[in-house]
Amino acid sequence: RRYGGTGLGLTISKQLVELMAGELRLESKVDAGSRFYFSLEFGLGIQAAIERADTADLHGVNILVVDDNATNRDILTSQLALWGANATSVDSGPRALKMLLEAAAVQQPFQLALLDWHLPIMDGLSLARAIQSDRRIPKPAIIMLSSENVSFQPERSHEYGISFFLNKPVFQQRLLNCLRETLAQDKVAEPELSQTGKPASAARLRGRILVAEDNLVNQEVVKSFLENMGCSADVVNDGEAAVLAAGRRDYDLILMDCHMPVMDGFSATLKLREQEAAAGKRRVPVIALTADVQKGIQDQCQAAEMDGYLSKPFSKDQLRTLLLAWLPAGGASRTDSPAAAAALPAPAGLSPICHADIAELREIVDAQGASLFDKAVALYLQTAAEQVEKLRHAVAAADLPTVANTAHALKSASANLGAREFAKTCLALETAGRQGATEEVEVLFAAFERQLPEVVTELSHLAAAGPAESAAADVDKVAVAPAGAAVRLLLVDDDPNFRLITGEQLKSAGFQVEEACSGEHALEMLQREIPDLVILDAIMGGIDGFETCARMSALPEMTDVPIIMSTGLDDIESINRAFKAGAADFIIKPLNHVVLIHHIKFLLRSYRDTAELRNSKQQLSAAQRIAGLGYWTWDAKQDKFEISPYLAELCRTSPDYFQGQLGKYLDLIDVADRKQVEDVVNAAVEGKEACVEYRLLSESDEPITVRQDTALINSGAQSYVTGTVQDISKQKESEKIIHRLAYFDELTGLASRVHYHSRMQQTIKAAARAQQEFAFLFLDLDEFKYVNDSFGHNVGDQFLKAIAQRIQSVVREEDFAARLGGDEFCIIVNAITDEFQAMDIAERCLQEINRPLILSGHHLKPRVSIGIAIYPKDGDNEHDLMKAADTAMYSAKTAGKQRYAYYRPEMTGLAIKRLQDEQMLRDALEQGQFELHYQPQVGMRDGRMVGIEALARWRHPQRGIIGPGEFIPLAETLGLIGKIDQWAIRSACLQLLSWHSQGLPLLTMAVNVAASHFRDPQFVVSLRDILQQTGMPAEYLQLEVTESAMQNPADMEVFRRVKDVGVKIAIDDFGTGYSSLVALKHMPVDCLKIDRIFVQDVLINPQTPILLGTIIGMAHAMQFCLVAEGVETIDQAMVMSGLGCQVVQGFLFSAPQPAAALPALFRKDFRLEFVDAKSGPFTAPDN
């Protein structure tokens, strides 16, 4: 054959043709070549009309696609978009969480999420868990996508919110069916059919509905739904407007958004209930509309006297179901005539100006009769034109900082004059400018220009109409300043309109108001006179409000002057910045001036009280020093130290000892505390007060513990540090005694029941965070009452002490033991990796406690019964764990005492079986029950054995031959694996030499060894000893380890030392671990054994030969030998040989055999076993 190949293409083609009930044939002529062809039978079909898939359910549905593969994302989002869905895609779990939160924030949550299981950083399962645990995210239905079969328990799907699993590649029809079924699960059940055969809910409804919703899109959707179902609907923009509308007209039902401007839905409903009660009107059902479906929303609705809630977004069917439940029986509603309905005044909110806001401004009139509203409108119209022109140029030039600053100024001025909706547009424009969103700025500016003429026209009209008649504002005059003095306020804002309106309001309330137009101006004014309170704008040109506030707060004269910051930035970051800068309060524009005045009055009283309290504290401190408390003072500038006589006496010395030096005092402080006290004193020089506890030493007595308050005292031009010192030694000793009595059992010294409760709560929290298990052992002494009754309570107490000491000797340092009371004890075994670790502790407790005990000449035999419960399987809280362990303990007593039992009976049986297996394994090692079986490794070129693998077997007296999968893990747990592996290496070497003595050739002998050996440098010494004692040439011994054994860089030194001895190293099951090409070139490896999973898959999956070709090519390039494991068919052997792997091993040639069967295999030509009737014996192709 000049052109050799694997024959894989023909093999696959043959299988495909046979699967379709066809036949593959061959025609071949010498010197003419060969022709392969196949025949298939096809029936005639009928061309069916292609039906378009019904995708109506997907229209408008928000779907999030999470996949790190860009191609997959593009395919899925394109297909979903064709079906009418709103598809968004991201490439990782963290980005998905961010997208879900952002969607929830704008009340456009995702209804569905398609998650790839194999995501980087955070896999699909972790992402699903994160979505379920985040209370801020409305829960989407989740469809999990995977490119391979994954191991997952279906019953746990609900924990992760997973509705379906789909394997990739995802076919369109399967995906569509899955999406439709998932959406159908979330819909309200179909109503029963009426007698006409149509759903009863399809009948047209009758009712007048009031919709209170500030979102224009939501308004249109709800109104369209209602009118389509036959109801009439009135729409208002906020809660205040809803209360007014409900007072003017009777409604059958009110749909109330929870979060609206002016007045939220909760407050509006309470106001509505008060209005109904005052007028004696019937109670109108109020249904909350909310996107917040987290825990607590029902309680809020109930507290607000709402009748129910409907989660947004909702479907038309869901709304219809709600209307059927709440509209009057028969759908009857009040039949106001259309004319009457049209004659009603328009609901509040249709005008661009809030009349309630401007009414307050009109009430303030100066001596000439001009209202504050008229002045404010005139100033607004005067400045707005300039600001609008500035904004228009900034938008055209894409000068986003100027856009943001100008929109901010217009927002504040507009809100002050009641143009609330226009102010919202300005806020959105400001936000977009600060975020650099150029396209969004252009869209918002277009809306700005549409709204501005309406605002200007309405303000001009209202100003021309003249002031309305009203009483003076009902605000108390200020009465918080000292008699004879007016309260001085400093108003700082760069908006003249704001200063005008707010200043006039405050003056009308009796305050004296000074104004500053910038932060710099305000700081200059403070140098001349200190006000009683400052109102400071946060966003200004030059020095902004936050920096101005920080500078003001740093001035000593401003210590007792509160600062109120005002801004339109209604966000947590701005509020935190304000308080960090030193603000006493934070209010949002537009201001409610009545509320502002009450804020001012409260802060003035609060700061006055605080100043008085500080003065009283200083007076009290002086009184304590006069009364004889110990103290010292230190003038840092002159380094002058003075100490009171009482404190010197406390130090067992005289005041002269210190010689005016602070260092002399510090020398008397315990070395462990000295540095901390030095730091506190040095900090006090900078004005930082502190309290510290430390120990004072004396030559004659025990150290005493003192508490010291340190502060900087300013006395005119002089300042000094003072420390007030109090002896708290007796208090500390009392605290220790109280703590010991509360947390430790007085008799046994073990932790007490109180300590146990505290420790158990800490352990549960820590285990929950780390997702770990721990064991709880409940111990009850058997027949303790007999000891007490027979020998007296004195012996009983000694008995309990001895048992406590034995328990303490058993537990590890990280575990916890306590006496719960009487003869009951408990042990908390932390961070267990398997449940049998608790069995080990229980076994040791039984052995230690059950040892004979001699007390007061009495020979006693202690016995104990132990119940075992596992967190969280048997309980996830203290009560459930105690109950489970107590039940298990009584099971142990019922079974005969002097034993332990798990809460789950099957665990007790498994524990007993494990103990029996452990003992049998130890006996097997001592009694020589282990033996080696051998499996040949065959060369494909000549069909002869080229190597042997030794495989351990346990010949059990009763159970027969036991494979290594059953006893090797247990041997590793018991620490017996080292002895077994050394026995296997020694036996394999001796057997190979025995065959050689019979005239058989020396072949490579492969022995599997545990990874743990390569963490022990002594393994190399043991290996060298075996080779010397058996006379085995090192080059014929090969040790096989798994890929995971070579992942720890610290173990590589032992591998290299093994190589230095001359022994070969092979990676077993290669391809199933985590070896990288970079790491592989540094590993001291001779051979790669290709895992059987690839061999079994090579004729099935067309990708597998490609992968194997890569592995084999890499191995040849790195000069590694190759062995293919698990070869069971001649086709597999041929393909592996064709790919370049010339050594194979598996049941095709021989199962593992006892040593006696191997000599015959040495002489065997395995090629003769497989003869094809047409082509003769198989021959490996040359490559």
Could you read off the pLDDT of 1098-1119 as tens digits, one per residue?
A: 999 999 999 999 889 988 988 9
Domain assignment present for 296: yes
Asked whether residue 268 falls in the same domain as residue 371, the answer is no
Q: Which among 984, 1025, 836, 799 is positioned nearest to 917, based on CA atoms?
A: 836
Q: Which two tokens stand for residue 1120?
A: 């590694």
Q: Which among 385, 389, 432 is positioned nearest to 408, based on CA atoms?
A: 432
All residues at 6 or more sequence positions from 442 whose CB lies less than 8 Å from its CB, including other chains: 395
Domain assignment present for 144: yes
User: Which of 107-116, 220-229, 355-364, 632-641 has the lowest average pLDDT?
Assistant: 355-364
Please check whether residue 222 is in contact with residue 233, taking contact to mean a CB–CB distance below 8 angstroms.
Answer: yes
Residue 319's pLDDT is what?
A: 85
Question: Residue 126 — pLDDT band, cuts 50, 70, 90?
Answer: confident
H helical segments located in 134-283: 157-160, 172-186, 216-228, 239-248, 265-279
858: helix, coil or strand? strand
Residue 499's pLDDT is what?
A: 85
What is the residue type of 571?
Answer: D
Length of the chain equals: 1183
User: Does residue 1071 have a pLDDT over 70?
Assistant: yes
Domain assignment present for 269: yes
Burial of 4 (0-12, 13-18, 19+ CB in 10 A): exposed
DSSP state for residue 367 in the 8-state scheme: T
Q: Which helix (H) or strand (E) holds 346?
A: none
Q: How far, in whole angstroms, is CA 194 from its chain's centroid?
A: 49
Helix axes 1130-1139, 1103-1117, angle to 10 degrees: 50
User: Does residue 750 have a pLDDT over 90?
Assistant: yes
Q: Compare 1051 and 425 and report the one with higher pLDDT.
A: 425
Region 47-53: mean pLDDT is 58
Residue 1052's pLDDT is what?
A: 83
Please check whether residue 582 is in contact with residue 560, taking contact to mean a CB–CB distance below 8 angstroms.
Answer: no
What whole-number distance in Å separates Cα of residue 1103 and Cα of residue 1133?
Answer: 18
Question: Residue 803 — pLDDT band, cuts 50, 70, 90?
Answer: very high
H helical segments located in 1017-1129: 1018-1030, 1052-1061, 1077-1080, 1092-1097, 1103-1117
Total domains in the chain come to: 8
User: Which of 204-213, 1064-1073, 1170-1179 has the lowest average pLDDT?
Assistant: 1170-1179
Instruction: Find where tokens 């890929």 sit.
Output: 1043
Q: Which helix (H) or strand (E) holds 882?
A: helix 878-894
Burial of 329 (0-12, 13-18, 19+ CB in 10 A): exposed
Pairing of strands 62-66, 563-567: unpaired
Span 170-209, pLDDT tens digits = 878 888 888 888 887 664 333 333 333 333 334 578 889 9
Instruction: Find where tokens 């022994």 sit.
Output: 1063
Pairing of strands 864-871, 853-855: unpaired
Mean pLDDT, the chain, as a whole number?
A: 82
CATH code for the domain of 62: 3.40.50.2300
Asked whether residue 726 falls in the same domain as residue 749, the answer is no
All residues at 6 or more sequence positions from 1066 whose CB lies less than 8 Å from its CB, including other chains: 1006, 1038, 1039, 1040, 1041, 1085, 1086, 1087, 1088, 1089, 1123
Question: Residue 686 — pLDDT band, cuts 50, 70, 90?
Answer: confident
**Terminal C-alpha separation, the chain:** 11
Asked whether residue 979 falls in the same domain as residue 1097, the answer is yes
Percent above pLDDT 90 for the chain? 32
Q: Final residue of a domain: which of 464, 496, 523?
A: 464
Asked whether residue 532 falls in the same domain as residue 579, the answer is yes
What whole-number distance in Å separates Cα of residue 857 and Cα of residue 577?
Answer: 76
Span 534-593, pLDDT tens digits = 999 988 888 999 999 999 999 988 988 999 998 776 667 788 888 899 998 888 877 777
Residue 347's pLDDT is what?
A: 34
Span 1020-1062, pLDDT tens digits = 999 999 999 999 999 999 999 987 777 677 678 888 899 999 9
Instruction: Find where tokens 């030194």 sit.
Output: 1053
Span 831-880, pLDDT tens digits = 898 888 898 899 999 999 999 999 888 889 999 999 999 999 999 999 99
CA atoms within 13 Å, Cβ hemisphere of 657: 16
Domain assignment present for 1: no
C-alpha pair distances (Å), 106 with each of 109, 252, 301, 806, 1179: 8, 30, 21, 63, 71
Please check whether residue 885 is in contact with residue 777, taking contact to mean a CB–CB distance below 8 angstroms.
Answer: yes
Domain assignment present for 190: no
Question: Residue 466 — pLDDT band, cuts 50, 70, 90?
Answer: low
Asked whether residue 416 falls in the same domain as residue 533, the answer is no
Domain assignment present for 648: yes
Asked whether residue 727 falls in the same domain as residue 757, the answer is no
What whole-number distance in Å separates Cα of residue 1027 and Cα of residue 37?
Answer: 59
User: Does residue 899 have a pLDDT over 80?
Assistant: yes
What whole-number distance in Å separates Cα of residue 821 and Cα of residue 882?
Answer: 14
User: Does residue 1014 have a pLDDT over 90?
Assistant: no
Max CA distance (Å), the chain: 131
Residue 148's pLDDT is what?
A: 57
Q: Which helix (H) or strand (E) holds 1012?
A: none
1182: alpha, beta or left, given left = phi > 0 and alpha = psi -120 to 50?
beta
Residue 1177's pLDDT is what?
A: 44
Residue 562's pLDDT is what?
A: 93
Asked whether residue 1082 falls in the same domain as residue 1168, the answer is yes
DSSP state for residue 135 in the 8-state scheme: T
Pairing of strands 630-635, 640-643: antiparallel
Region 70-96: mean pLDDT is 89
Asked whether residue 1016 falls in the same domain as residue 1122, the answer is yes
Radius of gyration for the alpha carbons in the chain, expressed in angstroms and rounded: 43
Span 783-794, pLDDT tens digits = 888 888 888 889
Asked whether residue 162 falls in the same domain as residue 257, the answer is no
343: helix, coil or strand? helix
Q: Which among 365, 620, 331 is positioned nearest to 467, based on CA atoms?
A: 365
Taking the C-alpha atoms of 259, 265, 267 and 269 in order, what is their torsion angle to the nearest 10 degrees?
A: -170
Please check whether residue 884 is in contact with residue 903, taking contact to mean a CB–CB distance below 8 angstroms.
Answer: yes
Q: Which among 748, 415, 721 is positioned nearest to 591, based on CA atoms?
A: 415
Pairing of strands 308-311, 512-516: unpaired
User: Does residue 379 have a pLDDT over 80?
Assistant: no
Region 985-991: mean pLDDT is 96
User: Does residue 731 have a pLDDT over 70?
Assistant: yes
Q: Final residue of a domain: which of 900, 920, 940?
A: 920
All residues at 6 or more sequence positions from 233 whose CB lies less than 8 Å from its CB, including other chains: 208, 209, 210, 211, 222, 223, 226, 227
Asked whether residue 916 falls in the same domain as residue 935, the answer is no
What whole-number distance in Å separates Cα of residue 550 and Cα of residue 1122?
Answer: 73
Asked whether residue 853 falls in the same domain as residue 984, the answer is no
Domain assignment present for 414: yes
Residue 937's pLDDT is what?
A: 95
C-alpha pair distances (Å), 633 with each of 494, 659, 716, 725: 48, 13, 16, 11
Domain assignment present for 1182: no
Residue 45's pLDDT is what?
A: 67
Q: How far, in whole angstroms, is CA 443 from its chain's centroid?
A: 37
559: helix, coil or strand? coil
User: Does residue 494 have a pLDDT over 50?
Assistant: yes
Q: Final residue of a domain: which of 119, 151, 185?
A: 185
What whole-number distance in Å separates Cα of residue 255 and Cα of residue 36?
Answer: 75
- Structural domain that includes position 73: 56-185
* E-only strand ranges, 986-1047: 1004-1008, 1037-1042
User: Does residue 481 have a pLDDT over 60?
Assistant: no
Percent above pLDDT 70 for the chain? 86
Buried b / exposed e across 146-178, counting CB within 10 Å, b at 16+?
Answer: beeeeeeeeeebeebebbbbeeeebeeeebbeb
All residues at 6 or more sequence positions from 1175 whose CB lies less than 8 Å from its CB, including other chains: none
Asked whether residue 795 falls in the same domain as residue 837, the answer is yes
